Amino acid sequence: MDNAPYHSQQINWAPTSANKKNEIQEWLRQHGIEFSDSELKPELSQKVQRNRPEKIYKLDQLALESGHEVNRLPPYHCEYNPIELVWAQVKNEVASKNSTFKIADVEVLLHEAISNVSQKNWEDCVKHAEKLQEED
């Protein structure tokens, strides 16, 4: 899984220094972490940092509940993700057959191109991505 924001919604969100002081205080309160009302925002933020839980993502949890484990890709390494290769194949097919540039026709071509992706295509893309990872 890549680290796109829509793949990385956290279950156990923790505030950052960008949050308002009262939001940080509320998070500390909810997590049973003692603080004084006289503490400044930087002091409160340090308490959050010391008690920040390990990130748990919604999609990772959903996959785990279905018996799967998500492996997150390093940032800026989409070449390790086989779906990017498959998506490139689909886009190339649509582009090569698109002659009208009408959205309805593009949609038909898209569905056609997706249905043309075979199990062998997927296997080849997975093997290629694994090879790149091993080389790196």
Can you give the length of the chain in residues? 136
**DSSP 3-state percent helix, strand, coil across the chain (nearest 5):** 60, 0, 40
Tens digits of per-residue pLDDT, 120-135?
A: 999 999 999 999 999 9
Three-class DSSP labels, 42-73: HHHHHHHHHHCCCCCEHHHHHHHHCCCCCCCC
Mean pLDDT for the chain?
Answer: 94
Q: How far is CA 114 from CA 88, 95, 99, 118, 124, in A?
A: 11, 13, 18, 9, 16
pLDDT grade for 11, boundaries at 50, 70 and 90: very high
Tens digits of per-residue pLDDT, 19-36?
A: 999 999 999 999 999 999
Q: How many CB atoms lie within 10 A of CB 27?
A: 19
Residue 78's pLDDT is: 86
Query: Where exactly are the structural domains of the chain?
Result: 5-65, 78-135
Residue 99's pLDDT is: 96
